[in-house]
Amino acid sequence: MAARNIISGYSDGTFRPNNAVTRGQFAKIVANAAGMNEPVSGQTFQDVPTSNAFYEQVERMSARGIISGYPCGSPGEPCVGPTNRPYFRVNAGATRGQISKIIASAASYSEPPVGQTFQDVPPTHTFYAWTQRLAGRGIMGGYPCGGTGEPCGPGSRPYFRPSNSATRAQVSKIVTNTFFPSCQAVENR
């Protein structure tokens, strides 16, 4: 991904794979990997002005309906008239569930999901469809049952931990497996 100029590290030359990925970083990674490069204009989100480093990628994904924001009015996110734009929360972390939805949507995976791969993502879960579409393709896996708070149930399904923060390494792996499958890693966690 670095060789393709899709992902980069920090100014000190490190990648920091275990750091949580921000929503802005994630938007840039997915938009670039999916080949989104059309010109953009306007401003959808109050906290992503044209001067923001992630502006173009966020706008491209928003225009395609892949990402959305949060309505203005929350603490620290005032409504600014006359547009009252939503907030993207560009510097906030992205959860594993959120990244599943965005990656599957950017890849245009829309078939009806089948089965249940993860113990903690049943068909009633908010991110079930997207998580199942990626898992069903072998793009990502989970964590073996049996850990603290993750008992093994019937079928000993793994856990996905959809509410956990996604790391830069996890995002890199899942995006690579989705958009560049010939580079797919051996382990799908």
- Place 152 in a pLDDT band, splitting at 50, 70 and 90: very high
Amino acid 122: pLDDT: 96
Amino acid 188: pLDDT: 45
Amino acid 189: pLDDT: 47
Three-state SS at 18: coil
List CB contacts of 20: < 8 A, sequence separation 6 or more.
Answer: 93, 94, 165, 166, 167, 168
Which of 183, 166, 168, 185 is closest to 14 using CA atoms? 168
DSSP H helical ranges for the chain: 23-33, 55-63, 96-106, 128-136, 168-179
Partners of 8 in beta bridges: none
What pTM value is reported for the model?
A: 0.91
* Both structure tokens of 141: 């896996």
CA distance 129 to 21: 22
Q: State the chain's mean pLDDT as an integer.
A: 93
